Structure 1
Amino acid sequence: MKDFFLIYAHRGASATHPENTMPAFAAALRQGATGIELDVQLTRDNKLVVFHDWSLKRIFGKPGHIRDYTLAELRRFDAGSWFDSRFSGLSIPTLDDVLARAATKPIMLNIELKNFFSFSNGIEQKVSEAITRHNLQDKTVISTFNPLSLESLQQINCGVETAFLYFGHLRKAWHYAREYNCTYLHPPVHEVTAPFVDACREYSIKIVPYQVNTLPEIKRMIELGTDGIITSQPALAHRLLHGEKRRKPKR
């Protein structure tokens, strides 16, 4: 991974577009994101789709879970109108859809495996193979809340950097990142302090916190020296880092 401050757009530009959709990812680039964070699950017919929730209720208004439907069935559901009628008719993207587009763009990827409640379903191997197929190993990080998944990624020697992701409070979280051979630690923003950063540096762990959505939080992470952020406000982070472009005066 390149050494610069990463602005990962959380589920794409999810503050202005329906999350985890192709328009949200395209908008993230326009808003100054240098990376995209997205979520991946397996369908009933073992296809990799980009979707966050365990339940389909919030986005699709349907019963059940992603694993209960085939890709063809999910493609018929509207993934955009829940956010705004302007986005009606959008379909759920596959991971291959996103990787094919990312291969042509100057963008980094953070793929979160949504398998905290799903064990031994083979998602690690499938995601690793998809990344390799699109030659994106050097532009991708795989993250997960599931430590067993991190172990699986080590066992298959996936060739992609990994991130230890956690919520709440975890004492000496950097130890766990080191234990699972992770390059990155993805803590909630409230966990990150100067001593926290110092400890991660001592263990050569890079820090990219999530839920970094306000100007004070973004500014604090930059000042503490984290390696990037996961944010629903990529435009705000970009402006803070690079400043507003001065508009040319009209003649």
Structure 2
Amino acid sequence: MQNEINIPIVLDAVRKVGDVFLKNYKQNAIPQSMDELLRQLEDIDILCLTSLKEDLFPEFPNIPWHIGDEFNTDSQRNPAGQHAYWLCDAMDGAIQYLQHIPGWTINLALIYDGKPFFSVIYDPLANEMFWAKDGEGAFMNGKELKISHKTDLAVMLSVFEYGHQDKSNIDLNKKIGSTVTKLLDNFGIVRNYGPHGLQLAYVGAGRIDLFVQDDLDTFNWIAGLLIAREAGAAILTTDGKPWKWGSESLLVAQKSITEKYLQIKSTK
């Protein structure tokens, strides 16, 4: 894999397909059955992957592609075996898109030796392109990103998320519920927004102060993780350990905020 990649070509390819979806936004009927929902989700995947592959193959002919299927829990525990590959979340927030509400993006990450090397998150509705390259910073529409430096929890915006695992596990439900309660009791503003990767990019942009999730969601996280990390955020598990591929929780914020959250979490 090339260590120097043609970033404008990648950004243009992501913008192109994102703008196609923007043009078609709210043009299709909201699905009313599971069959209809699955068909429209598949149509999104096909359109996105076809466009990206077509535009990026001339520049990266030897890099294979993987679809980030967040419904497949086991596949998220380890990176693919290839030295380098594209990992595409064809649309993060596809349900919002199909329901005619905001909160959907095109996410693409280039994985190198099991770690994100380059990632892009494009929000067509806001016309915002977030991207980061390992060791070279994070950016939005050409402007370098920096995390929030708030110190007062009362003015901090915290967000919680959850994945698509089977929630019949009572302990997991209780864990998520406890997390939400701790956030409500200690942070001034608590939200659940939808597109995981975009929320992580927002941490990098200083728009969100803390992101927390108590279950496994690697594919939804991976593009945003690199952006948040390159903007200065700490990337941990909810136990305070360094996050690694396959970790079953995620805590992202500036270091001092993660320390405060872990202290709060440890109290009864």
Name the TM-score class by shorter chain. Answer: under 0.3
Flag the structure with higher strand content.
2
Normalised by the size of structure 2, how large is the TM-score?
0.24
Normalised by the size of structure 1, how large is the TM-score?
0.25
